[in-house]
Amino acid sequence: MAADISQFVDHQYLNLETYKKSGQAVATPVWFVIDNDSIYIVTKAGTGKVKRLRNNQNVRVMPCGFRGEPKGEWVNGKAQFADPLESEHAISLRNKKYGMKAKLAGFFSSGKGELVVIAVKLDSQS
């Protein structure tokens, strides 16, 4: 596992920082899973983070608590939307990690569209 990604392993949340067209950063605490040195975030198509990622794939991530309180260091990365097979695998990993909480979250956010999986690859440090 890459050194950059190891700080996320024992955490339930990370801050996903995306950028508005103006360049203003927006940090959002989200659930995540790690697989093959990628971080996967499952969300709904109508969320602000998805809209922002369509304009700018640069992100920063940091382990955090439920309300976004820092639990590690920011790391730069690039985000892209996962293909259907990758998405299915990431959703399965998310359901395994978060269990009933994941099902409840899906129920309460049903009005924001279909599920979308964001795959984040961390930038390598030189």
The CATH number of domain 3-122 is 2.30.110.10 = yes
Q: Which residues of 4-41 are buried (b: 16+ CB within 10 A; e: fewer)?
A: bbebbeebebbbbbbbeeeeeeebbbbbbbbeeebbbb
Task: Give the pLDDT confidence score for residue 126 in this predicted structure.
Answer: 41
Task: Give the pLDDT confidence score for residue 121 in this predicted structure.
Answer: 96
pLDDT in single tens digits along all 126 residues of the chain? 455 799 999 999 999 999 999 999 999 999 999 998 999 999 999 999 999 999 999 999 999 999 999 999 999 999 999 999 999 999 999 999 998 777 666 555 555 678 899 999 999 854
- For the whole prediction, is pTM greater than 0.85? yes
CA 53 – CA 61 distance, rounded (Å): 14
Task: Give the pLDDT confidence score for residue 27 in this predicted structure.
Answer: 97
Kindly list the distances between the CA atom of residue 18 and the CA atoms of 11, 64, 104, 110, in Å, as whole numbers in the listed order. 20, 15, 25, 23
Task: Give the pLDDT confidence score for residue 99 in this predicted structure.
Answer: 85
Q: What phi, psi does 53 have (nearest 5°)?
A: -70, -25
Q: Where are the domains of the chain?
A: 3-122
